[in-house]
């Protein structure tokens, strides 16, 4: 059951001019579910992407990186669920290339203008006959208004579709941003997550879009974790079609900051939706680390808390067992941490000061905060001025059930 995950109604989703989407059932892993999605992008669309740092980068990730480097305009995306095409060696690579080739033939473009994506089980062969056999139906389904269906058809263990859509005004014109994401387990993105797609009808110069894509990922998908497992297939893509008539060429452009903020905001919402729908999650936790000497040490502390199974199970139990948070801060790897300068808040309750329990702390105050579905844990390290925020969830019986059952 997702934690406060807002699903807009289909009528509130704004199509993005220059983006068509088609969906079909390929039966890659399971019958009777939509599992194949094709994006067609208008000529002139800028596309940028960031990908997993896992050394077992999936075959489609490797092909994406190669195709994005060729500088031929990207014109299509092909996304399958049910099989990750990861840990599949040379054969897997050839299958990802074959997918691009067949999509290119159907859309009358070049294979290197196609980006392939796969998500699902690792180390199993991708059933190409089913994928290629279903591609024509997905292409036939291409239409402007298919975002809601796409959000469904890229799901795996997700219980809810994840979609954001908003409009901003730039230079007196309406600019649309619409995006989808998926992911619920194997989530500790380290470049992007598995998978996020955000499109806008603003035009953005290709080099600039690459930088903006990385900035957006670093403030959104790269700040969430469910289980600390960085996936082999993480991919986050921004597409800018330019069809709104508004184009941003450089960071000096007066619209740059507004557009970047809108992209970051939409990306963060897509990323947070993954945490809200994380496998077995019952609580959405924001871990904010302030007064750090560096962003790196703030992130070390935030991730130590966010990954501790003991902290996560205590939140599941709504038990303010706060010593577990102090313990995680203590082993986060800041070897010269002076614990007497540290302060810890649970929501608005000051829990620890001077290396120990706040003398005024009352267990019932901690208990009150722990009952909430959304909880902010705030740590002040007393070492400097830098802050970082990470989003995560609790650790429940349902997580074990899902991950002990998934696949078998």
Is 193 catalytic? The answer is yes
**Strand, coil or helix: what is 250?**
coil
Residues in 275-314 at the binding interface with a second copy, rule: CB under 8 A: 307-310, 313-314
Q: Out of 137, 339, 350, 376, which residue is the one contacting a second copy (CB under 8 A)?
A: 339
Please give the Cα distance from 155 to 81 (Å, whole number): 7
90 Cβ contact partners less than 8 Å away, ≥ 6 residues apart: none
182 in a known ligand binding site: yes
Residue 13 or 311 with smaller CB distance to a second copy: 311
The 225-244 site mask, x for binding a second copy (CB under 8 A), equals: --xxxxxx------------
Q: Out of 43, 44, 323, 384, which residue is the one contacting a second copy (CB under 8 A)?
A: 323
257: left (phi over 0), alpha (psi -120 to 50) or beta: alpha
The 388-407 site mask, x for binding a second copy (CB under 8 A), equals: -------xxx-xxx-xxxxx
Please give the Cα distance from 178 to 172 (Å, whole number): 19
Q: Strands 36-41, 76-83: parallel, antiparallel or unpaired by DSSP?
A: antiparallel
Q: By CB under 8 A, tell whether 43 contacts a second copy.
A: no
Cα–Cα distances in angstroms (integers) from residue 320 to residues 108, 205, 218, 282, 375, in the given order: 59, 49, 31, 15, 12
Q: Which of 45, 81, 119, 193 is catalytic?
A: 193
Q: Are 388 and 289 in contact (CB under 8 A)?
A: yes
Please give the Cα distance from 393 to 283 (Å, whole number): 5
Q: Which helix (H) or strand (E) holds 272?
A: helix 256-276
Q: Out of 27, 56, 73, 293, which residue is the one contacting a second copy (CB under 8 A)?
A: 56
User: Which residues are known binding-site members for substrate?
Assistant: 156, 182, 193, 279, 403, 408
User: Which residues are known binding-site members?
Assistant: 156, 182, 193, 279, 403, 408
**Residues carrying an active site annotation:** 193
Q: Site residues (CB under 8 A) for a second copy?
A: 53-57, 84, 86-92, 121-125, 185-186, 188, 190, 227-232, 307-310, 313-314, 316-317, 319, 321-324, 326-331, 334-335, 337, 339-340, 352, 354-357, 395-397, 399-401, 403-408
């Amino acid at each position: 059951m997702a934690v406060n995950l807002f699903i807009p109604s289909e009528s509130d989703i704004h199509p993005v001019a220059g983006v068509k989407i088609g969906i079909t059932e390929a039966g890659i892993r399971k019958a009777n579910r939509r599992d194949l999605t094709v994006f067609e992008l208008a000529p002139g669309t800028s596309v940028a992407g960031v990908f997993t740092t896992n050394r077992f980068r999936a075959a489609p990730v490797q092909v994406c990186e190669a195709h994005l480097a060729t500088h031929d305009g990207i014109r299509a995306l092909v996304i399958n669920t049910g099989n990750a095409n990861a840990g599949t060696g040379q054969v897997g690579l050839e299958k990802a290339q074959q997918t691009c080739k067949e999509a290119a033939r159907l859309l009358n473009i070049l294979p290197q203008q196609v980006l392939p994506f796969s998500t699902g089980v690792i180390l199993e062969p991708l059933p190409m006959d089913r994928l290629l056999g279903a591609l024509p139906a997905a292409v036939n389904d291409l239409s402007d208004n298919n975002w809601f269906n796409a959000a469904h058809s890229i799901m795996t263990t997700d219980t809810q579709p994840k979609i954001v859509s908003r409009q901003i005004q730039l230079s007196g014109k309406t600019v649309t941003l619409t995006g989808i994401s998926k992911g619920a387990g194997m989530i500790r993105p380290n470049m992007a997550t598995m998978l996020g797609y955000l499109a806008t009808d603003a035009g953005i110069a290709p080099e600039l879009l690459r930088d903006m894509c990385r900035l957006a990922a670093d403030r959104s998908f790269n700040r969430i974790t469910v289980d600390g497992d960085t996936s082999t297939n993480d991919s986050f893509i921004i597409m800018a079609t330019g069809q709104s008539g508004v184009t941003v060429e450089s960071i000096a452009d007066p619209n740059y900051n507004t557009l970047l903020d809108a992209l970051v905001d939409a990306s963060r919402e897509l990323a947070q939706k993954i945490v809200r729908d994380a496998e077995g999650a019952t609580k959405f936790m924001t871990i904010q680390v302030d007064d750090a000497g560096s962003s790196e040490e703030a992130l070390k502390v935030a991730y130590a808390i966010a990954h501790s199974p003991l902290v996560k199970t205590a939140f599941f139990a709504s038990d303010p067992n706060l010593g577990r948070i102090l313990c995680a801060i203590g082993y986060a790897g800041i070897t010269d941490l002076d614990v007497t300068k540290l302060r810890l808040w649970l929501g608005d309750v000051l829990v620890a000061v001077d290396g120990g329990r706040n003398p005024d702390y009352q267990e019932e105050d901690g208990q009150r905060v722990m009952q909430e579905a959304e909880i902010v844990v705030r740590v002040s390290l007393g070492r400097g001025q830098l802050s970082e925020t990470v989003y995560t969830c609790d650790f429940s019986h349902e997580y074990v059930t899902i991950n002990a059952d998934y696949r078998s």
